[in-house]
Amino acid sequence: MSKFIFGGAYVLAMAVTLAPAAQAEPKFYLGGGLAYSGAVSKHEPDAPLEAENNGNLTGLGVTGGVRFGNPGLFYGAEIDTDFNIGGELTARFNGRSCADGFAIGPYMCSQTATVRARAMIGTEVQGYELFGTLGYAVLFGDQAIAGNGITAPVSVGGITYGIGAQTAMGAGKIRTEVIWDNLETIISSPSTANPIWNSTTAKVSYIIEF
């Protein structure tokens, strides 16, 4: 995992170091959108399928960042956050959720928010800006701690990466992207277990530069 984190840091360093030579003025941007995720959580990476929670989540996204360069090659760094507004995970073998009063293991039950700090690099092709992202993400949510559905706050971190495209629309840009979050490092947990979170997110945002 460390090689991916160092890779993201390298891309970000290149963005800061090389971009001013191509474009003197940075472009700041801010936007919002909708996200739809498919997620899986286990109490540890090698846990059997019956000790797995999965489900689909809907979120509101907020993205802000800075970019340098020109249409041929641009670099940037951004903070991307998704706030859950609907959906929770359910046990794979019986479809029940922690909110139903059912939780058999220290897997994660729900997502409150996911915050991503990531570097971006891309190029323009026939009016579309194609880009890739790489960085570190932290998810805040709830973890099952007892079989009767008792939960407690938990946060996990790990690698995030994605691909996307954006193009001009009105006063801003419409962006579509796919984001993969592989979060396997405990930051804060009420137990000694190591619950993990893996998700794939499709996201559409509207971005305004200023």
**Span 88-106, pLDDT tens digits:** 888 776 777 887 776 666 7
Q: What is the pLDDT of residues 27-56, one digit of tens each?
A: 999 999 999 999 999 876 666 555 678 899
Please give the domain boundaries of the chain with CATH numbers for all domains.
Answer: 2-209 (2.40.160.20)
**Which range (99-108, 155-164, 192-201) has the least confidence?**
99-108
Note the pLDDT tens digit of each residue in 174-193.
Answer: 999 999 999 999 898 877 77
Single pTM value for the model: 0.85
Q: How far is CA 197 from CA 7, 43, 160, 180, in A?
A: 21, 9, 11, 11
pLDDT digits (tens, 9 = 90+) for 143-155: 887 666 678 899 9
Strands 108-125 and 172-188, how do they pair?
A: unpaired
Residue 55 backbone zone (phi > 0: left; psi -120 to 50: alpha; other: beta): left
Give the bridge partners for 169, in sequence order.
172
Q: Which two tokens stand for residue 10?
A: 């390298």
